Amino acid sequence: MNKGFIKWIAASLALALSAAVIGLGTHGQKASEEPAVKPPSAAAIGPSDFASAPRIESRKNAAPNALPASASPSSHEATKADGLLKRAMRYGYSQFIDAAIDSQDPQKSFEAAKILDACKSIDRRIARSRKHASSQTGPGRDNRELIASLKDDENVQRHCQTLTAVQQSQYLKLLETAAVGGTLGAASTHYHEVAVVQRQDPSAIPWQLGALTRDANLGDITAIKALGCDKIGAALSEKQRQTYRAALRIAATGGRAEEHASMLAEFCGEHSDSVAAVDTRAVQKLLTAIERVGTDYLENR
Q: Would the pTM of this model clear 0.85, i.e. be above it?
A: no
Specify whether the CB–CB gap between 100 and 112 falls below 8 A.
yes
Identify the CA nearest to 256 among candidates 59, 17, 50: 59
Cα–Cα distances in angstroms (integers) from residue 62 to residues 20, 182, 185, 299, in the given order: 28, 10, 10, 12
Interacting residues of 255 by C-beta distance below 8 A, sequence separation 6+: 5, 8, 287, 290, 291
d(CA 132, CA 262): 27
Q: At what angle do helices 221-229 and 238-251 cross, to 10 degrees?
A: 130
Phi–psi pair at 266, nearest 5 degrees: -65, -25
First to last CA, the chain: 23
Q: How confident is the model at residue 266 (pLDDT cuts 50, 70, 90)?
A: confident
Mean predicted confidence (pLDDT) in 184-207: 92
Q: Is 122 helix (H, G, I), strand (E, B) or coil?
A: helix
Q: Which of 104-118, 173-187, 278-292 has the lowest mean pLDDT?
A: 278-292
**Per-residue DSSP letter, 38:** P
Higher per-residue pLDDT: 75 or 196: 196
Cα–Cα distances in angstroms (integers) from residue 160 to residues 67, 95, 165, in the given order: 20, 11, 11
Q: What's residue 300's pLDDT?
A: 52
Q: At what angle do helices 280-299 and 221-229 cross, to 10 degrees?
A: 130
Which H or E element spans position 21?
helix 17-26
Asked whether the predicted pLDDT for residue 75 surpasses 60, the reply is no
Q: What's residue 14's pLDDT?
A: 47
Mean predicted confidence (pLDDT) in 253-276: 73
Q: What's residue 21's pLDDT?
A: 39
- Dihedral of CA atoms 223, 224, 229, 233 in degrees, nearest 10, equals 70
Q: Which of 59-68, 134-143, 229-238 has the highest mean pLDDT?
A: 229-238
Q: What's residue 257's pLDDT?
A: 67
d(CA 35, CA 16): 32
Phi–psi pair at 88, nearest 5 degrees: -70, -20
